[in-house]
C-alpha cells in the first residue's frame, strides 16, 4: 500500500474518502460506550414485553424554523406476562414529548408514576395488559431536530434547496436512528409486523413522497397538503423516510418472478429527462439480474421506487434515495479501479441491492451489519456478471480489495448500537466471493442465495443464522472461514516451500483449525486442502516457478524462508 500511495496519492485520497463514506453511512466509531449506548443497543425489560405491530406517523416540518412537529401512534402487542410497568420509547434530544395517548384517550399517569426522560430515552408507565392483547400509544412531540451537516455521512434532518432555491427536505438516519425524528422502539430487531403509514404535511407548491404506495392526498385549506403513504410489509425504522421537494413522477412496470412489479420514480422537475434515461437503462436489467440470483423482489405489494435526494443515497425500503447526479460509477468514479464500475450507476445498483439484504433480511444488532453491507456489496458483483460476464465480475471484486484496511473485525460489539469495521463492505464482498469459490458450484451458490432470501423472508437474524444456513446448504463446515474473516482482522497466509519434487504448504496468520481449500490458478483442476500443519504433495508444472493461487480467493501467498 505504501508504494501505491507514493505513486498515486490522489487515487488513495479518493479511496480513503470513499471508505469513510461507507463507514459514515452507518455510525461514527466509539472507543468507549455509555449508559445511553446500552439503552439504545440492548433489549432491556422495558422493550422486551411488547412487539410493534404498526407505526402511524404524522410529520409537519417547518422549513424556515428548521423544526418539526408530529404525532406517532404505535400499535403494539403484549408478548410477556408480568411485564415491566414501563415502556421505553426512543426520541432523541432536543425533541420533546408534548402529550401522550393510551388507546385513544389522553394519557393519565398509571399507577401514579410520572413518565420521565433519560437522555434520548423516555420511560413511560403503562397499565399491565393481558398477554397477546393489542394496544396503542400516541405520542405528540415537537422541536428542532438534529440537522445533518453533511448527509449521509452525518445523519439527521436535511433542510436543503434545489438549484432553483426551492425547499428540498428529507432525513438520513441509519445508525443514528429513526428516533432522531420520530418516537419509536429504535432497535433493528423489532420491525412493525403490519408495516407503517406515513402522513407528510407539505406546502401546496411541493410534493411529499414516502415509502410504499400513495394512500391519500388531502388539501388542508391552509396552504398545505397531507400526503399519506402506506407500507404493508415489515420495515426497518431507519427506512421510513419522508421526502419533500418539487417532484414530478413517471412510472413503469416490470414482469418479474411474482408477476407485475410497479416501478415509480420521483425526481426534481428539471431532471426528468436525465432520470428517464439513467433509470430506464439500469433499473430493469438490475431487477431481472437480482431476481435471477436472489429470488423475487421482496416487496411487490409496496412496489419499487427511486426518489431523488440532495444527499448521495440510502436504501430506504420501497423508496430508495438516489443522489448520484445521474452519473455512472460512484459520482463518476470506479470504486474497484477495474473499469467495470464505470458502466453503471453505483447508487441505483447498491442501494437497490439492499432491498434483499438489509430490508428483506435485517440483522437484530448493528454489530452484524456485514449481512446488510457485505451481501449488498456483492450484488454489485452479480450485476457486473449479469451484464458483462464472469471475468468482469471477478475483476470487479478483486479490485475492491484496494480499499480494505483490515483495521479490526467486521463484526462489532453487541448491545451498544455499534457496528464493526467499515471493511464490512468490500471485505464482506470478498468473503462471499471466496466462499463461492470454496463451494465450487455456481448453481448451488445461486440456490443458497435464493434460499437465504426465502428462508429469512421479512425476518430479523443474527450473523450466526446466516453462517449456519450457508454451511448447511453447501454441505461444508465453513465456520472457520467465517470466524477468520468476520471475527479477526487477519488475512490468512498460504505459506509454501519446494524441495525437489515436493511442494509443502500450510496456513499461517490464522485461527487454529483454519482449513480452507484453495485452487491453483494455472491448473484449476488441482486443489490444495491446506491446514495449519505442513502438508506435502508432488510439485506440479503450475507450481514450479512459484505457487499461484486463483486470485478469487482473498488470501496472501508467501514462500517460506
Q: pLDDT averaged over the chain?
A: 93
> At 1, is the pLDDT very low, low, confident or very high (cuts 50, 70, 90)?
very low
Question: Looking at 464, 487, 510, which one is the last position of a domain?
Answer: 487
Q: Is 254 inside any structural domain?
A: no
> At 522, is the pLDDT very low, low, confident or very high (cuts 50, 70, 90)?
confident
Mean pLDDT, rounded, for 304-312: 98
Nearest to 92 by CA among 21, 26, 40: 40
Q: Is 374 inside any structural domain?
A: yes
Cα gap 211→195, rounded to integer Å: 10
C-alpha cell, 494: 498460504
pLDDT digits (tens, 9 = 90+) for 345-403: 999 999 999 999 999 999 999 999 999 999 999 999 999 999 999 999 999 999 999 99
Strands 518-519 and 527-528: antiparallel
Q: Is the pLDDT of residue 27 over 70?
A: no
Question: Looking at 227, 245, 263, which one is the last position of a domain?
Answer: 245
Q: Is 118 inside any structural domain?
A: yes
Both 381 and 465 in one domain: the answer is yes
CB half-sphere exposure, 93, CA atoms < 13 A:
6
Q: Under a CB-based contact definition with an 8 Å cutoff, are residues 182 and 70 in contact?
A: yes
Both 95 and 236 in one domain: the answer is yes
Q: Is 315 inside any structural domain?
A: no
Question: What's the number of domains the chain is made of?
Answer: 3
Both 18 and 134 in one domain: the answer is no
∠ Cα 48 356 347 (to 5°): 115
pLDDT digits (tens, 9 = 90+) for 199-226: 999 999 999 999 999 999 999 999 999 9
> At 9, is the pLDDT very low, low, confident or very high (cuts 50, 70, 90)?
very low
∠ Cα 250 376 211 (to 5°): 35
C-alpha cell, 56: 402511524
Nearest to 418 by CA among 4, 148, 26: 26
Find the CATH number of the domain harbouring 236.
2.60.40.1730
Q: Is 421 inside any structural domain?
A: yes
Q: Is the pLDDT of residue 115 over 90?
A: no
The percent helix, strand, coil of the chain (3-state, each to 5) is: 30, 30, 40
Q: Is 381 inside any structural domain?
A: yes
> At 10, is the pLDDT very low, low, confident or very high (cuts 50, 70, 90)?
very low
> At 561, is the pLDDT very low, low, confident or very high (cuts 50, 70, 90)?
confident
Eight-state DSSP code of residue 340: G
Both 501 and 425 in one domain: the answer is no
Q: Is 418 inside any structural domain?
A: yes
What is the pLDDT at residue 108? 64
Question: Looking at 215, 245, 275, which one is the last position of a domain?
Answer: 245
pLDDT digits (tens, 9 = 90+) for 38-64: 999 999 999 999 999 999 999 999 999
What is the pLDDT at residue 22? 46
Q: Is the pLDDT of residue 21 over 90?
A: no
pLDDT digits (tens, 9 = 90+) for 162-199: 999 999 999 999 999 999 999 999 999 999 999 999 99
> Which residues 6+ apart lie within 8 Å of 126 measured at CB?
85, 86, 87, 102, 110, 135, 137
Q: Is 507 inside any structural domain?
A: yes
- Domain with 546, as residue range(s), is 493-559
Say what percent of the chain tops pLDDT 90. 88
Amino acid at each position: 500500500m505504501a508504494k501505491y500511495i507514493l505513486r498515486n496519492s490522489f487515487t488513495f485520497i479518493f479511496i480513503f474518502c470513499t471508505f469513510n463514506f461507507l463507514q459514515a453511512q452507518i455510525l461514527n466509531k466509539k472507543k468507549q460506550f455509555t449508559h445511553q449506548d446500552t439503552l439504545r443497543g440492548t433489549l432491556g425489560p422495558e422493550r422486551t414485553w411488547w412487539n410493534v405491530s404498526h407505526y402511524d406517523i404524522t410529520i409537519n416540518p417547518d422549513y424556515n424554523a428548521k423544526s418539526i412537529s408530529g404525532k406517532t401512534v404505535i400499535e403494539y402487542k403484549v408478548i410477556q406476562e408480568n411485564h415491566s410497568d414501563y415502556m421505553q420509547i426512543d426520541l432523541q434530544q432536543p425533541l420533546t414529548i408534548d402529550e401522550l395517548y393510551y388507546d385513544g384517550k389522553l394519557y393519565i399517569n398509571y399507577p401514579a408514576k410520572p413518565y420521565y426522560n433519560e437522555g434520548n430515552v423516555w420511560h413511560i408507565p403503562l397499565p399491565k395488559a393481558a398477554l397477546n392483547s393489542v394496544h396503542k400509544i400516541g405520542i405528540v412531540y415537537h422541536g428542532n431536530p438534529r440537522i445533518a451537516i453533511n448527509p449521509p455521512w452525518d445523519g439527521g434532518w436535511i433542510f436543503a434547496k434545489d438549484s432553483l432555491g426551492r425547499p428540498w427536505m428529507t432525513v438520513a438516519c441509519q445508525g443514528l436512528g429513526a428516533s432522531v425524528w420520530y418516537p419509536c422502539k429504535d432497535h433493528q430487531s423489532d420491525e412493525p409486523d403490519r408495516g407503517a403509514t406515513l402522513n407528510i404535511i407539505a406546502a401546496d407548491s411541493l410534493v411529499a413522497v414516502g415509502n410504499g404506495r400513495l394512500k391519500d392526498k388531502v388539501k388542508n385549506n391552509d396552504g398545505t397538503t397531507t400526503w399519506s403513504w402506506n407500507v404493508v410489509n415489515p420495515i426497518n425504522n431507519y427506512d421510513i423516510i419522508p421526502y419533500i421537494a418539487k417532484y414530478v413522477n413517471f412510472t413503469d412496470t416490470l414482469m418479474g418472478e411474482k408477476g407485475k412489479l410497479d416501478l415509480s420514480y420521483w425526481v426534481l422537475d428539471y431532471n426528468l429527462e436525465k432520470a428517464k434515461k439513467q433509470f430506464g437503462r439500469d433499473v430493469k436489467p438490475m431487477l431481472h439480474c437480482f431476481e435471477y440470483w436472489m429470488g423475487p423482489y421482496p416487496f411487490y405489494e409496496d412496489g419499487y421506487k427511486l426518489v431523488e435526494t440532495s444527499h448521495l443515497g440510502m436504501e430506504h425500503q420501497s423508496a430508495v434515495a438516489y443522489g448520484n447526479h445521474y452519473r455512472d460509477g460512484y459520482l463518476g468514479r470506479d470504486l474497484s479501479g477495474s473499469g467495470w464500475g464505470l458502466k453503471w450507476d453505483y447508487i441505483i445498483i447498491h442501494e437497490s441491492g439492499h432491498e434483499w439484504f438489509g430490508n428483506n433480511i435485517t440483522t437484530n444488532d448493528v454489530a452484524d451489519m456485514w449481512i446488510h453491507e457485505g451481501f449488498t456489496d456483492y450484488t454489485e458483483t452479480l450485476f457486473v456478471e449479469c451484464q458483462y460476464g464472469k471475468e468482469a465480475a471477478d475483476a470487479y471484486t478483486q479490485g475492491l480489495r484496494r480499499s480494505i484496511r483490515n483495521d479490526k473485525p467486521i463484526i462489532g460489539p453487541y448491545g451498544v448500537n455499534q457496528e464493526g469495521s467499515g471493511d464490512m463492505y468490500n471485505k464482506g464482498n470478498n468473503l462471499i466471493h471466496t466462499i463461492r469459490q470454496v463451494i465450487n458450484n455456481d448453481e448451488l451458490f445461486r440456490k443458497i442465495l435464493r434460499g437465504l432470501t426465502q428462508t429469512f423472508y421479512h425476518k430479523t437474524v443474527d450473523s450466526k443464522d446466516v453462517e449456519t444456513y450457508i454451511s448447511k446448504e453447501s454441505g461444508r463446515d465453513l465456520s472457520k472461514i467465517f470466524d477468520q474473516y468476520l471475527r479477526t482482522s487477519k488475512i490468512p497466509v498460504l505459506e509454501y516451500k519446494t524441495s525437489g519434487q515436493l511442494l509443502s504448504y500450510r496456513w499461517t496468520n490464522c485461527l487454529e483449525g483454519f482449513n480452507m481449500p484453495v485452487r491453483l490458478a494455472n491448473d484449476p483442476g488441482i486443489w490444495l486442502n491446506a491446514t495449519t500443519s505442513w502438508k506435502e504433495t508432488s510439485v506440479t508444472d503450475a507450481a514450479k516457478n512459484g505457487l499461484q493461487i486463483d486470485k478469487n480467493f482473498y488470501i496472501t501467498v508467501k514462500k517460506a524462508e
